[in-house]
Structure 1
Amino acid sequence: MVDFWSGLSQAFWLVVTLDAELVEIAVRSLQVSLSALFLACLIGLPLAALIAVKRFRARRFVIAILNALMGLPPVVVGLLVYVILSRSGPLGVLGILFTPTAMIVAQTIIIVPLITSIAHQSIRDLWQEYHDLLISMNVTQRQKIRTLLWDCRRALLTAGLAGFGRAIGEVGAIMIVGGNIDHATRVLTTAIALETGKGDFALALALGFVLIGLAVLVNLSIHWLGQTEREGRW
């Protein structure tokens, strides 16, 4: 019990004093996860709108695949990315394995289906309301997608939040492709796993506090944005 409270107090002190190692790991985690989120949104949001607007023969199959990929095990993604980026792989010439870039690639692949699927559900409902109006205005496919994405932006924030939560808490895939290298690819989740294994519970708890704090901060930001938008409408 004494060790627990001692570790807890040390962890709190590391957070309060902004320990250099703690800050470095937290900043790298944000850089990797936010970069992956940005790329995933660039891919997933337009794709979700396109699936909602365009009618094609394999549409239901594509939606089913996206929903299935939401539960894709991260370690499988990490393994596939590792094989592709390894020296003997098709993209091994890039030399980005065990770098933050490889971690961003893995996280992007993991969260694209999640963001696309959640966004599609919201955009599909809005498209049912806008369908007749946009068809009567004879707008292009691109204009339809832009309109739906803009008017559905609040719901899309939820998709982005879900994607960020999945990315920032991911450990399996980025451990495989990043290697958990100190001062290079070590992020919050991999550092927590490492420090727990070493028995350094103070640093592990401090990292955990930061991870929880980031999740809470993102949720509060999304809530604030939603409140601001609702007040603006009034």
Structure 2
Amino acid sequence: MVDLWSGLVQAFWLVATLDSELVEIAMRSLRVSLSALGIASIIAMPLAALLAVKRFRWRRFVIAVLNALMGLPPVVVGLVVYVFLSRSGPLGVFGLLFTPTAMVIAQVIIVVPLIASISHQALRDLWEEYHDLLISLNVTQWQKIHTLLWDARRALLTAALAGFGRAIGEVGAIMVVGGNIDHATRVLTTAIALETGKGDFALALALGFVLIALAISVSLTIHWLSRTEREAKW
């Protein structure tokens, strides 16, 4: 019990004094996850809108695949990315393995199906309301997609929040492609796993506190943005 309280006190002290190692790891984790979230959103949200608007032969199959990929094991994604980025792989010439870029790539692959699936559900319902109006206005496919994305932006923020939570909490894939290298690719989740294994519970707890704080901060920010937009409409 004494060791637990001692670890908690040390963890709070590391957070309160903004320990340099703690800040470095947290900022790297935030950069990687936000970069992955931005790229994934650019890919997933227009794809979701296109699936809601356009009818084509393999549409239901594509939607089913996206839903299935939501449960894709992250460590498998890491393994596939590792194979492609390794020296003997097709992209090995770029030397991206064990870099933050490789971690971003892995997180993008993991997050895209999640954001696309959640976004598609919201955009599909909105398309049912807008279908007759937009068809009667004879707008282009891009204008339909743009209208849906804009009017569903609050729901899309929720999808982005889910994607961020999945990205920043990921450990398996980024451990494989990043290597958990100190001062290079070590992020919050991989550092927690490492420090727990070493028995340094104070630093592990401090990293955990920061991870929870980042997740809550992003959630509150998105909630505030959604509330601001709702009040503006009133």
Coarse TM-score class (shorter-chain normalised): over 0.9
Q: Which piece of structure 1 moves more, 129-138 or 176-185?
A: 129-138
- 1:51-200 maps to which residues of 2 (within 5 A)? 51-200=51-200
CA–CA distance in structure 2, aligned partners of residues 185 and 156 of structure 1: 29
Residue 229 of structure 1, CA deviation: 1.1
2:15 alignment counterpart: 15
Instruction: Give 1:32 deviation, angstroms.
Output: 0.2
Letter in 1 for 2:54: K
User: Take 2:34 and 2:113, find their aligned partners in 1: how far apart are those partners?
Assistant: 16
SS in 1 for 2:3: helix
Distance 1:21 1:96 in 2: 24
Q: Tell me the TM-score normalized by structure 2.
A: 0.99
Does 1:32 pair with 2:32?
yes
Distance in structure 1 (CA, Å) of the matches to 2:200 and 2:32: 24
Secondary structure in 2 matching 1:185: coil
Aligned to 1:90, what secondary structure does the other structure show?
A: coil
Shift of 1:226: 1.4
Equivalent in the alignment of 1:222: 222
What is the SS of the residue equivalent to 1:63? helix
Read off the aligned partner of 2:100 and give its amino acid letter: P
Distance 2:91 2:222 in 1: 37
Post-superposition offset of 1:144: 0.5
Q: What amino acid sits opposite 2:49 in the alignment?
A: A
How many Å separate the matches in 2 of 1:225 and 1:185?
31
Q: What do you get for the CA RMSD once the two structures are aligned?
A: 0.4
Q: Quick one: which amino acid aligns to residue 76 of structure 1?
A: V
How far apart in 1 are the matches of 2:227 and 2:151? 16
User: What's the CA shift for 1:109?
Assistant: 0.2
Deviations 1:103-129 (A, max 9, x none): 000000000000000000000000010
SS at match of 1:205: helix
Task: Name the count of aligned residue pairs.
Answer: 234
SS in 1 for 2:89: coil
5+ residue gaps, structure 2, are: none
Aligned-residue offset at 1:79: 0.2
Uncovered stretches (5+) of structure 1, i.e. residues with no partner = none
Secondary structure of the residue that 1:71 maps to in structure 2?
coil
Partners in 2 of 1:61 and 1:105 — Cα distance? 25
* Matches of 1:17 and 1:172, distance apart in 2: 30
| CA deviation vs aligned residue, 1:18-51 (integer Å, no higher than 9, x gap) | 0000000000000000000000001000000000
Amino acid at match of 2:94: L
- How far is the alpha carbon of 1:92 from its aligned partner? 0.4
Q: What CA distance in whole angstroms lies between the structure 1 residues aligned with 2:59 and 2:224?
A: 35
Q: Distance in 1 between matches of 2:175 and 2:131?
A: 45
Tell me the SS of whatever aligns to 2:176.
Answer: helix
Amino acid at match of 1:83: V
Matching residue's letter, 1:9: V
Amino acid in structure 2 at the alignment position of 1:96 = L
Give CA deviations for 1:133-170 in whole Å, capped at 9, x if unaligned.
Answer: 11111111011100000000000000000000000000
How far does residue 191 in structure 1 lie from its aligned partner after superposition?
A: 0.1
Structure 1 counterpart of 2:157, which letter?
A: L
Distance 1:178 1:212 in 2: 22
